[in-house]
Amino acid sequence: MSEPENRPIRTFHPRRGRMSSRHADAHAALWPVYGLDSPDGEHSPLDLDVLFGRPAPVVLEIGFGMGDATAAMAERDPDRGYLGVEVHTPGIGNLLALIGERGLTNIRVAHGDAMHLVHRLAAGSLDAVHVFFPDPWPKARHHKRRLIQAANVAVLRDRLRPGGLLHCATDWPDYALGMAETLDADPQLTRLPPEAKERPETKFERRGEQAGRPITDLRYVRI
């Protein structure tokens, strides 16, 4: 099926799925406090200080999956806010459950197209952007749907403060090469040397390792 005329190409599969009772209970109780809908028709600026109820550096997590890694990072990094964006409703329910079980107050959970939400953010408003194991769209004819494209990178970089970090990870070697080429080509990003992995392991990362695929982390700082 072709994309509607003038509509941006989707970089994700819409995924709803069925919530468990744990996820549904957490969603009912905590979505009004920690949740954020980002429908396509919403264009109003998003004030992160208001969203988190305090001025603080904010990390944007695009596609957090089941949210285990996001919750772990936020728990050990309470001075920063974590804004996670996902389209998979069981994952949203799981992250909300983790928020309640661990008493986390520095996470907000958004449902919708991440790039649509990013366009609502002010330039220089983010401390970091995490893109961990995005949909690889492995077929060549679908590569145009990959999130890490020059136009998207320019917008993500613009939302970073000077010195802010863009951190991407993938278990697909050809996507890793494409990511590196795209990110290296951005004149306002500088690649950081590899370092020991500090981020928590994700479910998609474990799947990639079990399938024998190498894990690539790419870290860039905005000039």
Q: Residues marked as binding?
A: 61, 86, 113, 135, 139, 171, 202-205
| d(C-alpha 89, C-alpha 72), whole Å | 19
Give the span between the Cα atoms of 213 and 177, in whole angstroms: 14
Q: Contact 164/221 with Cβ under 8 angstroms?
A: yes
CB 20 within 8 A of CB 71: no
H-helix or E-strand containing 191?
strand 189-191
Known catalytic residues?
135
Q: Binding site for substrate: what residues are annotated?
A: 139, 171, 202-205
C-alpha span between 134 and 180 (Å, rounded)? 14
Distance CA 205, CA 172 (A): 10
Binding residues for S-adenosyl-L-methionine: 61, 86, 113, 135
Strand partners, 107: 82
Of 62, 98, 100, 101, the C-alpha closest to 82 is 62
